[in-house]
Amino acid sequence: MQGGPLALVNYRGEFGTDLMADAIGAFGDGTPDIAVLLQIAWAMAKTADDAVSPFPKWIREFDSREFTLGDTAGAVGVIDSAISAELFRGRPSRRIRRRLGRCLDSLAKRLGRRADGLLHR
C-alpha cells in the first residue's frame, strides 16, 4: 500500500468523499468503521498498483476462508500501520495517530474477546 496525494484522488474517485475526513470520522463513536478502513486500504493499494480492481471486486477477491471475522483485528492492525506510515508521517499528525492507535487497540481487544466467546460456545 502507498499513500500520498494519489491515494486521496483514488479515494474520492471511487467513494465520492474525502479520505482524511472519512478516516477521522471512522472513529467518531470510538468503534472503528471497518468498511471505511477497508476503503482506505483499497485507495492505498490502488495508488501502489493501477491494476487493483474496483473496490467491490477487490473485496470479493479476498478468500473468505482466510479472511474471517476472527482475523479482522489483524487486518485492522495492518491497515492502521499502513495509514500511519503512508498518510500521517509528519509531526502535526501525531495526535491523530495516537487516537487511531487507541481506537484500533480497543477494537482488537473487543474482537478478540468476541471471537473467543464464539469459539468456546
- Is residue 19 within 8 A of residue 91, CB to CB? The reply is no
Identify the weakest region by mean pLDDT among 15-19, 30-34, 116-120: 116-120
C-alpha cell at 101: 492507535
Q: pTM for this structure?
A: 0.62
CA torsion through residues 91, 93, 95, 97, sign: negative
Let me know: does 30 contact 106? Beta carbons within 8 Å.
yes
Query: Per-residue pLDDT for 97 more than 60?
Result: no
H or E element in which residue 5 lies:
helix 5-15
Would the pLDDT of 95 be above 60? no
Backbone angles phi, psi at 52, to 5 degrees: -60, 135
| Chain segment 50-89, per-residue pLDDT in tens | 999 999 998 888 777 666 655 556 666 666 666 665 565 5
* 114 residue type, one letter: R
